[in-house]
Structure 1
Amino acid sequence: MKIIKKALKWFLYFLLIPISYLLVSLLLASITINRKSATSGEEKSIYLSTNGVHLDVVIPKENLDPLLLKELKYTDTDQYVSFGWGDENFYVNTPTWGDLTFSNALRALFLKSSTLLHVTRYSAVGTEWVEVKVSAPELQKLNTYIHQTFTRTTNGSNILLKNEGYSSLDDFYKSKGSYSCFSTCNSWVNVGFKESGIKSCLWTPFDFGLLNKHK
């Protein structure tokens, strides 16, 4: 009987961890970090895109900083470029949710790991994208934030993973940082918005935290 009670006690303690994480996440996601400057200069559109879990930021090609754009693969028909950040092993070995394994999820959330930037090109605006109006200075800061996330060679070139994209319209590049349950793909986008002065969450590991600020 004592063993059962002890096991139940430890089970409840263990259960408190994800519950506490969820509650703190929802609380901090509900706290809005407003724009750092007046919004009267809003004149550009960017977008938020999600697959239901993973959030990307999408920028019209014409609004990408030339330094950022010249290091990416693109064609004349590509009009929008999305950027997502995440765990390298998860990105490469989990192209669909059907490929998800417990070990991959565990490694991504709790073990220090290398990361990638996932860059995808589009010819038109997605029907489910959420439009976000930004000023020219905010857009430039966001461009800088993305540009600084890439890992580069000694000669300053992006490090492209050859033949690792999911299709002919996307690529993976080596990036800085380590993924964890506290630093997720969605919090990467949120930090970019926060540092650029765009409305954001205090912190959010989930896609809906930032999406709800702009719907």
Structure 2
Amino acid sequence: MKKAFKILGKILLGIVGFVVVYVLFAFILSRIPVNSENKNKNEDVTIYIKTNGVHTDIVVPIKTEYKDWSQKVQFAHIKSQDSTMQYIGFGWGDKGFYLNTPEWADLKFSTAFNAVFYLGTSAMHATFLKQVKETESCVKIKISQAEYQQLIAYIEESFQYDKNGSPILINATTYGQNDSFYEANRKYHLFYTCNTWANNALKSANQKAALWTPSDTGIFCHYQ
């Protein structure tokens, strides 16, 4: 019995130690900036980073001379089918979280376990918006044409596509009137979260970002 308790104690100690190290590294690495001095003076496109307090979306204009997102991520894919929308927010995350957890109260242990331990699949979330306002949780960023094209490529590479080159739509009914979901590449885990994806999106466009972060605060602290 004593031996069993010793083993259990070591396991618990190991778990606590891992959590402490993870939180410490998450804090330190998220405070190390990259691209902190963007020397590009061109401001061709306005984008936004937007958080709901946990998850970060990259918000871009639906139509510009450089990209018309509605050609593939169509208005017909959302319940409202409202073609007057002006912006689209992109987020990447665990498919189970997106489809089965519209509210935190709906979170199941199995969903969280699968996400954390690399057992689930991922999805792209598109949110159509009529307008975007700057707030503490929504930051405006002006980028060049070249930077936007790099961001476009990054977002496009996150989708899975069918044989016709269209994003694979997921039939989801858990969100609002202006949301759609698509099959995505990569898997969610402790070291690659929805916010890691958004942080890497900013890196791809040569914008201010954290060296690495699993949280939205690790992104937004560089825009305060």
Task: Determine if the TM-score, normalized by the shorter chain, exceeds 0.5.
Answer: yes
Secondary structure of the 1:95 match is coil
Number of aligned pairs? 215
Deviates more, 1:61-70 or 1:153-162: 61-70
1:205 is aligned, of 186, 189, 214, to 214
Q: Which has the larger displacement, 176-185 or 58-67?
A: 58-67
Give the structure 1 partner of residue 122 of structure 2.
115
Give the 3 Å change call, closer, same or farther, for CA 67–127 of structure 1 in structure 2.
Answer: closer
Write the deviation string for residues 88-144 of structure 1: whole angstroms up to 9, x where unpaired: 111111111110122211111103321110000111114531112222211111111
CA contact (8 A) 2:31 2:221 kept: no
3-state secondary structure, aligned to 1:198: coil
Residues of 1 paired with 2:122 and 2:37: CA distance? Answer: 29
Conserved in 1, the CA contact under 8 Å of 2:102 and 2:174?
Answer: no
Offset of residue 192 of structure 1: 1.2
Q: Which residue of 1 aligns with 2:12?
A: 11
| Cα pair 2:117 2:189 within 8 Å, conserved | yes
For residues 121-175 of structure 1, the C-alpha deviation after alignment (integer angstroms, 9 at most, x for no partner) is: 1111145311122222111111111111110011211111134351220000111
In the alignment, the residues of structure 1 paired with residue 18 and residue 26 of structure 2 have an alpha-carbon distance, to the nearest angstrom, of: 12
Alignment of 1:1-215 (within 5 A): 2-3=2-3, 4=5, 7-34=8-35, 38-63=39-64, 65-66=66-67, 68-74=69-75, 75-126=82-133, 128=135, 129-164=138-173, 166-215=175-224
Query: Secondary structure of the equivalent of 1:76?
Result: coil
Unaligned runs of 5+ in 2: 76-81
Q: Deviations over 1:4-40 (max 9, x none)?
A: 5554343222201111111011111111111685231
In 2, Cα distance between the equivalents of 1:6 and 1:184?
31
The gaps in structure 1 that reach 5 residues or longer are none
Distance 1:196 1:127, change over 3 A: closer
Tell me by how many angstroms 1:54 deviates: 0.8
The 8 Å contact of residues 86 and 131 in structure 2, kept in 1 or not, is answered as: yes
